[in-house]
Structure 1
Amino acid sequence: MGKEFLEIFEQWADSYDDSLTNNKEYEAVFHHYDHILNNVAERSTGHVVEFGPGTGNLTLKLIAKGLKVTAIEPSPAMRKLAKEKIGAKAQLIEGDFLQFKLDSKPDTFVSTYAFHHLTDQEKEEAIKQYSNLLPIGGKIVFADTMYVTKEAYNQAILDASKKGQHNLAEDLQREYYTTIPILTELLEKNGFTTHFKKMNDFVWIMEGEKINERG
């Protein structure tokens, strides 16, 4: 999952939960954070595979819904913190969006604030894998920063710079944020229907339901 960003995850682990509410620069990114997690959990069924659980906030909501959860996290520091929260209530393993091993078939793949760590080519590789693993009716439910157009993405960088939000502007340029049309194409060519719901000025929920076999 964007192994080039692993050092950032390690550095951010201890302050991640606090930054959700106390970092003014990222306030708009995490606006309605709890509501976003609840929306992802509500759309999930069966055996849920969660990529990038971070400190385990979504994991707890999935567990509370009575779902079987396999949480896949590349960062040792994040895994340690998540383990302290969830205990033995979910399986927590090392891996990422593209490299993982499951002990049973998944019904839903979920992720929040993480898919942008993959390039568009890697996103396509990931979606192909999920299509091969999911049954008909299985889902991908990802909440992440994405844009309606490339122009809107470029404007977001300019807006952050003008507001003096230099860390946010740097993040937007360093990582691999993409557009809804690109994600729609990737999902549909791999057998999924698509639905997008805007959650705040940055984050959308992307929901794909598998309706036929890829290809």
Structure 2
Amino acid sequence: MGREFIHTFEEWADDYDRSVSGGDLEYREVFKDYDRILDEVAENARGSVLEFGVGTGNLTQKLMKRGLDVTGIEPSEKMRRKAIEKLPQLHITDGDFLDFPIPGHKINTIVSSFAFHHLNDDEKDQAIENYSRLLPINGRIVFADTLFGSELEKKKVHHWAHINGYTHLLKDLRTEYYPLRKTLYTIFRRHHFVPYFKQLNRFAWLIVAEKNE
């Protein structure tokens, strides 16, 4: 998702829950209101759900509490173990946004949290095209992910991370593929989705895209 970042997921597995709970100052703004962000994703999901980047299972828990049937995809073995410790009943398999086992049942919603930015723009386009084939009319993609509203916003956030000495975050901003909102909008429209964007903190946005044809 992309697999080039698999070492990052493995390294984060032990500390991820602490970081998203505000325990890591450098990433505190990235994960501000994390619990509410996951609630927003879960509230917009419906039917049978395919979740990419299960991680340690935080979003999965919320989906399952809502009575939704969840199939999980996660490329990190260490993350998968963490998720299954929390949710022994979870069906989770090795895979990523582009290479995953196709479920043998109908999928109504595809979800993910803080992971889709690990694909470059061409890979994002390919992934959304694949999901358009998988989902029925009115099927949904519901992501919470990091993106920028504009090039100016991107420059301001890079400067903010630099002056605060957030070297690890700044490296992420420079090496991962945080997209522009207009780029994602174009990708979704190209593949017959009507997208809605809502900014939830300095970094994270809710994206709800419904297939209309």
Task: Tell me the TM-score range normalised by the shorter chain.
Answer: over 0.9
Matched, 1:155 2:156: yes
Q: Cα offset for 1:116?
A: 0.5
Corresponding residue number in structure 1 for 2:15: 15
Which sections of structure 2, spanning at least 5 residues, go unmatched? none
Please show how residues 58-69 of structure 1 align to structure 2 within 5 Å: 58-69=59-70
Runs of 4+ in structure 1 deviating by more than 2 angstroms, as ranges, are none
Q: What does the per-residue CA deviation read over 1:123-149, in whole Å, with 9 as the maximum and x for residues that have no partner?
A: 000000000010011000111111111
Amino acid corresponding to residue 54 of structure 2 in structure 1: P
Q: Which amino acid aligns with 1:87?
A: P
1:113 corresponds to: 114
Instruction: State the partner residue of 1:168.
Output: 169
Give 1:3's aligned residue. Answer: 3
Deviation at 1:18, TM superposition (A): 1.0
* Cα deviation, residue 150, structure 1: 2.2
Q: Quote the Cα distance in structure 2 between the aligned partners of 1:94 and 1:103.
A: 16
Residue equivalent to 1:98: 98
CA apart distance, 1:105: 2.0
Q: Structure 1: how far apart are the matches of 2:2 and 2:77?
A: 15
The alignment-based identity, stated in percent, is 46
CA drift of 1:151 comes to 2.6
Deviation at 1:66, TM superposition (A): 0.4
Q: Secondary structure at the match of 1:14?
A: coil
Structure 1 Cα separation of the partners of residues 189 and 151 of structure 2:
20
Query: Structure 2 length normalisation: TM-score?
Result: 0.97
- Provide the C-alpha distance between the structure 1 equivalents of 2:120 and 2:155, rounded to a whole number of angstroms: 17
Q: How do 1:12-91 and structure 2 match up within 5 A?
A: 12-20=12-20, 21-88=22-89, 90-91=90-91
Q: What amino acid is the match of 2:60?
A: T
How many residue pairs are counted as aligned between the two chains? 211
Give 1:196 deviation, angstroms: 0.3
Task: Name the structure 1 match of 2:202.
Answer: 201
